[in-house]
């Protein structure tokens, strides 16, 4: 049996809250129980929102919770070349096209909403001629690079993933439409980098919040297109606030640091999140 590899992959764009504690502790418990490794990955592709003090706090808060992770820690901002290479592979098979619309235009022309509730891009830029694309890029217009979803699904056919407690789940990547693979301001996207990194780091088991359940359809598609192995998935319950809403990094009350400053112990945190 190969040794299972788990990862906790927060973004340093705020302080960790009780929901992160649940995710990190579930990963740590599975790694311990299954004789596996636990990796820490810092998902910091968005330089405008990520800050060194939040990254430092991730290390401190996890250590305080009693979590032990392996070195080295992978910081996504140091690996843009890996994501560019994956993008180049998708380009070479003709699955990537530039789109120039503003956020406002995308919302106005939307063809519905994606599983996150964001406007679903209707694919207008796919119709631009090569000459027009080149002219606009040469003129310095900002653009995102998108996946041609219909063509991608045509290549992979039907896909499934393995979900803990459910078994085989049918993937539905079409629900995401022509997703952004590289943003206007960042040469990659969450979806592309997570898939590349899980493969490069040999992650066998992805344990993360239920808010990313539907993203797994897209992750399976990208894995299939890039020839990457598929980890097994476990999407866990979310920690919610008094009104039933998912916790946010902007709410101080549920931040691990605030709770610690008020005298909470790591045992109290476990109790608060029902572990
Ligand atoms: N970086 C993501 C987050 O903080 C988690 C990504 C993942 O676990 O796949 O929500």
Query: Per-residue pLDDT tens for 69-122?
Result: 999 999 999 999 999 999 999 999 999 999 999 999 999 999 999 999 999 999
Four-residue CA torsion sign, 131, 133, 138, 139 = positive
Q: What is the mean pLDDT of the chain?
A: 96
Q: Is the pLDDT of residue 231 over 70?
A: yes
Tell me the sheet residues that pair with 170: 160
Domain residue extents for the chain = 1-78+239-275, 79-199
Measured in Å, how far apart are the chain's first and last C-alpha atoms?
29
Q: State whether the beta carbon of 249 lies less than 6 angstroms from ligand 1.
A: no
- Determine how β-strand 37-42 pairs with β-strand 232-236: unpaired
pLDDT given for residue 249 in this prediction: 84
How much of the chain, in percent, has pLDDT values that exceed 90? Answer: 94
Catalogue the long-range contacts made by 33-36 (C-beta closer than 8 Å, 24 or more residues apart): 34/4, 35/3, 35/4, 36/3, 36/4, 36/5, 36/6, 36/204, 36/205
* Distant-in-sequence, close-in-space partners of 241: CB < 8 Å, separation ≥ 6: 247, 251, 254
pLDDT given for residue 75 in this prediction: 98
How much of the chain, in percent, has pLDDT values that exceed 70? Answer: 100
* pLDDT, greater one: 47 or 243: 47
Tokens of 221: 């598609």
pLDDT given for residue 1 in this prediction: 65
3-state helix, strand, coil in the chain (%, to 5): 45, 20, 40
pLDDT given for residue 250 in this prediction: 79
| H-helix or E-strand spanning residue 40 | strand 37-42
- Which residue lies with its CA nearest to atom 1 of ligand 1? 10
- Which residue lies with its CA nearest to atom 4 of ligand 1? 10
- Which residue lies with its CA nearest to atom 2 of ligand 1? 10
Q: State whether the beta carbon of 212 lies less than 6 angstroms from ligand 1.
A: yes
| H-helix or E-strand spanning residue 151 | helix 149-156
Q: State whether the beta carbon of 208 lies less than 6 angstroms from ligand 1.
A: yes
User: Which residues in 66-179 belong to E strands, given as ranges?
Assistant: 70-75, 96-99, 144-147, 160-163, 167-170
Q: How many CB atoms lie within 10 A of CB 237?
A: 12
- Which residue lies with its CA nearest to atom 10 of ligand 1? 10
pTM: 0.97
The architecture (CATH level 2) of 79-199 comes to: Alpha-Beta Complex (3.90)
Under CATH, which number does the domain 1-78+239-275 receive?
Answer: 3.40.50.620
pLDDT given for residue 251 in this prediction: 80
Closest among 18, 101, 16 to 60, alpha carbons compared: 16
pLDDT band at 253 (very low <50, low <70, confident <90, very high): confident
pLDDT given for residue 252 in this prediction: 80
User: Could you give the 3-state DSSP secondary structure of residue 85?
Assistant: helix
* Distant-in-sequence, close-in-space partners of 9: CB < 8 Å, separation ≥ 6: 40, 41, 42, 43, 194, 197, 208
What number does the ligand 1 atom closest to the CA of 20 have? 4
pLDDT given for residue 246 in this prediction: 86
Q: Is the pLDDT of residue 37 over 70?
A: yes
How far does residue 82's CA lie from ligand 1's centre (Å)? Answer: 18
Mean predicted confidence (pLDDT) in 212-240? 98
Peptide linkage before 72 cis (omega within 30 of 0)? yes
Best substitution site from 5, 6, 9, 246 to test ligand 1's pocket, by max atoms within 8 Å of Cβ? 9
Q: State whether the beta carbon of 219 lies less than 6 angstroms from ligand 1.
A: no
Helices (H) and strands (E) in the chain, counts: 10, 10
Q: What does the pLDDT look like over 171-203, one tens digit per residue?
A: 999 999 999 999 999 999 999 999 999 999 999
Q: State whether the beta carbon of 218 lies less than 6 angstroms from ligand 1.
A: no
Q: State whether the beta carbon of 43 lies less than 6 angstroms from ligand 1.
A: yes
């Amino acid at each position: 049996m190969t040794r299972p590899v788990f990862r906790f992959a927060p973004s340093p764009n705020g302080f960790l809250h009780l929901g992160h504690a649940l995710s990190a502790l579930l990963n740590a418990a599975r790694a311990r129980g299954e004789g596996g490794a636990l990796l820490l990955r810092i998902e910091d592709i968005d330089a405008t929102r990520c800050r060194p003090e939040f990254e430092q706090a991730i290390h401190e808060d996890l250590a305080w919770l009693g979590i032990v992770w392996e070195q080295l820690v992978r910081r996504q901002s140091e690996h843009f070349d890996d994501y560019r290479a994956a993008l180049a592979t998708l380009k070479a098979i003709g699955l990537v096209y530039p789109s120039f619309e503003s956020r406002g235009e995308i919302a106005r022309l939307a063809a519905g909403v994606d599983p996150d509730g964001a406007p679903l891009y209707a694919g207008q830029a796919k119709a631009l001629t090569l000459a027009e694309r080149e002219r606009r890029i040469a003129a310095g217009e900002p653009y995102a690079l998108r996946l041609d979803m219909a063509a991608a699904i045509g290549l992979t056919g039907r896909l499934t993933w393995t979900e803990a407690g459910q078994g085989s789940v049918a993937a539905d990547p079409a629900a995401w439409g022509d997703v952004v693979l590289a943003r206007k301001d960042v040469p990659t996207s969450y979806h592309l980098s997570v898939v590349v990194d899980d493969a490069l780091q040999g992650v066998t088991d992805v344990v993360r919040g239920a808010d990313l359940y539907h993203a797994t359809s897209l992750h399976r598609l990208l894995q299939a297109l890039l020839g990457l192995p598929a980890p097994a998935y476990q999407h866990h319950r979310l920690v919610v606030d008094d009104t039933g809403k998912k916790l946010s990094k902007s709410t101080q009350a549920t931040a691990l640091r605030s709770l610690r400053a008020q005298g909470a112990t790591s045992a109290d945190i476990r109790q608060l999140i029902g572990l």
